[in-house]
Chain A
Amino acid sequence: MLNKKHWVLLASAGAITLTGAANAATLEDTIQRGAVQCGVSDGLPGFSAPDGDGNWQGLDVDVCRAVAAAVLGDADAVNYISLNAVERFTALQSGEVDVLSRNTTWTTTRDTTLGLNFAGVNFYDGIGFMVSNDLGISGADELDGAAICIQSGTTTELNVADYFRANDMEFDPIVFDTSEQTVGGFQSGRCDVLTSDTSQLAALRIQLDDPSGAVILPDIISKEPLGPVVRQGDDTWFNIVKWSLFAMLNAEEYGVTSENVDDMTSSENPDIARLLGQDGNYGEGMGLEADWAYNIISQVGNYAESFERNVGMDSPLEIERGANALWNQGGFQYAPPIR
């Protein structure tokens, strides 16, 4: 008994901590703690996963790194807390994490009834299809009568059925329990098509014996905008997360990268001067220093760099920019100007 008591006493002395009032002043608490509390997934390829050295990497992770760079000037000052799909919102509501960046789809229910705010979209996801090269199919409208491998228990199943019914096409669903089995089914030729969220399709494709033998169709048949989430009621913090993401997008639009950012500080372009804090202090309204965006870009990079490094062409996943290209390059990513 003595030992048990000892343990609990000791552990609780170190473990019960004040995380600060959960409803306001997240910025002050973060500065005082010296680290951003960031909720990530328990492992999702390209979005958040620990690398060989135990550092978290991914597109979702970069959002938290950007916030840390803006607030604390150090992108590494992040405490990553891995959350599963069920507990993620509770962890945010209870103040265990201050930013939830965990491939969370922005929906009405989540935005309006959970006391949360979505601070933007860092990846436009949606259900897509992967087919074998041999079939010579180039679009989803040619899939009439196809046998489709689907992972059970996901909304994918319903969305695919909706899509085929709406387009008056037939399909033959072949349902598997796990993603490995789904890949196996596709590989062995049980089905012509494998369907999943596009962000996951690329990860499934790598697991094929011959990844180059399969192609991901450009069509996306559902809307799954993924983005960082914060608690409702702390508008300063909401603004910080929102504009950290916008700063990365704006930097890409103006051609500012982590490599040229130091040269760009002397740029004549007024947009760049405002972004990098050379002309006015646009961080002031959020309680940040003038170099908030400079810190993000120099330490995390702009959105294109983050995208390519984690899920794009520089990563094993090789996901096309597609819907995630900037608005002036045929995608949806659009950030309000910094002015």
Chain B
Amino acid sequence: MIHNQTMIDQRPAPSNTLGPMAWLRANLFSSPLNTLFTLVGLYILYLLVVPTIQWAFINADWIGTTRADCSREGACWVFVNARFTQFIYGLYPRSEIWRANIVFGGFFTLIAWLAIPRLPLKRWVAVFALVGFPVVAYVLLHGGYFDLPRVPTHRWGGLMLTLLLASVGMIGALPIGIVLALGRRSNMPIVKSFCVIFIEFWRGVPLITVLFMASVMLPLFLPSGISVDRLVRALIGLTLFQSAYMAEVIRGGLQAIPKGQEEAAAALGMTYWKRMGLIVLPQALKMMIPGIVNTFISLFKDTTLVMIIGLFDLLGIVQAALSDSNWLGFSLEGYVFAAFVFWIFCFSMSRYSQYLERKLNTGHKR
């Protein structure tokens, strides 16, 4: 018989099992050795972070227009500020920058539209992004039509050129890579050997060699009087190079799909292209998202190599600005800025790919 029983009041868990203190104890100070490591780690972090913050923010100069506005006690962001337009647009004529701005605006709007799930008409936007937008961008940037003054490609540069090279490389490499990957698994000997030779050739040479061949050797083989624009040469070289890598990434995905999937599709009477397009590729591509994004990120960073063929991508234009005799000695600021911009783009790509993986996850993931 139970009577006069009072419940014990709920009490919070002991303070050493939850909250930040508990986390600290569990993760950083769980044993004397770990405590020692934590303290040494914190000290090293302190040695690194404090001078960096001092240099980049506290002692830095932000306002001004010339070298004289730099105290040289810390970073002088005046340099980046004064050259910012050039870092973004390269040597694009100042009066025509609105054209580049429209392209930039369109580019980011399309990407946002395709990336944000709520927005409608995805299919049409995608078609426009892949077919219509490149034409619009070309007409706007290059000019020569509709009374727009021509801006030759040697004046294109900066972040604009980096994004152009990267997006054309990505958009071009993916479909070529898919075709090459399918071709390499094909039973037709000619198609198969062509794809194998193509892939192995392009994977066998460094990108720097491809660009050098395109810029130094190719002009000597062309009949005298005909020259292909060097940007186009770089774009073609970059795209073919990346498509070989992309092909191998996708082939990895294709091989991971159990054979039964394709056989089942064949048993339903599907043609080859239907089997690939509706059954095998969607699974393979989804599985290969980390690999594909990996290739994209490495392509984005590889675009800086066009510097060696005299195109001023973001890093190239920073270096060119460093050789302006009015701004000698600001290389650290310039490189930190370039690194920061590259980090933003690469990190965003990486985050988006993780999001995409989660979204498309159908439970195969371990």
Contact = CB atoms under 8 A, between A and B. Distances in A.
A46 B90 CA distance: 20
Given A45-B323, A50-B320, A206-B328, A94 B90 contact: no
Interface string B143-160: 010000000111100000
A315 B216 CA distance: 34
B215 A95 contact: no
A82 B226 CA distance: 19
Interface of A: 1-4, 6-8, 10-12, 14-23, 42-46, 49-54, 57, 79-84, 86-87, 90-91, 93-96, 180, 203, 206-207, 209, 310-311, 315-317
B226 A207 contact: no
Contacts of A49: 320-321, 323-325
Given A46-B325, A79-B152, A10 B138 contact: yes
Contact of A3 (B131, B153, B179, B235): B131
A310 B323 CA distance: 13
6 closest A-B pairs by CB: A15-B229, A43-B323, A94-B219, A207-B329, A43-B320, A54-B91
Given A10-B138, A14-B142, A90-B216, A316 B154 contact: no
A90 B227 CA distance: 12
18 contacts: A4-B172, A4-B176, A6-B134, A8-B236, A11-B232, A43-B319, A43-B320, A49-B320, A50-B317, A54-B93, A54-B155, A82-B154, A84-B310, A87-B215, A87-B216, A90-B217, A96-B227, A316-B325
Contact of B82 (A10, A20, A52): A52
Nearest to A18: B225
A193 B247 CA distance: 54
Interface size, B (range):
35 or more
B161 interface: no
B227 A19 contact: yes
Contacts of A81: 154, 230, 310
Given A11-B229, A91-B219, A80 B154 contact: yes
A91 B93 CA distance: 24
B138 A11 contact: yes
A84 B308 contact: yes
B220 interface: yes
Contact of A42 (B142, B172, B228, B307): B307
A4 B240 CA distance: 11
Given A15-B232, A50-B321, A84-B310, A94 B222 contact: yes
A42 B329 contact: no
Interface in B218-259: 219-220, 222, 224-232, 235-236, 239
Contacts of A206: 325, 328-329
Given A11-B232, A19-B226, A209-B72, A50 B91 contact: yes
A317 B320 contact: no
A20 B135 CA distance: 28
Nearest to B175: A1
B83 interface: yes
B229 A16 contact: yes
B55 interface: no
Contacts of B307: 42
Contacts of B135: 6, 10
Contacts of B172: 3-4, 7
Contacts of A94: 219-220, 222, 224, 227
Contacts of A17: 226-227, 229
B144 A14 contact: yes
B123 interface: no
B309 interface: yes
Given A11-B138, A42-B320, A50 B86 contact: yes
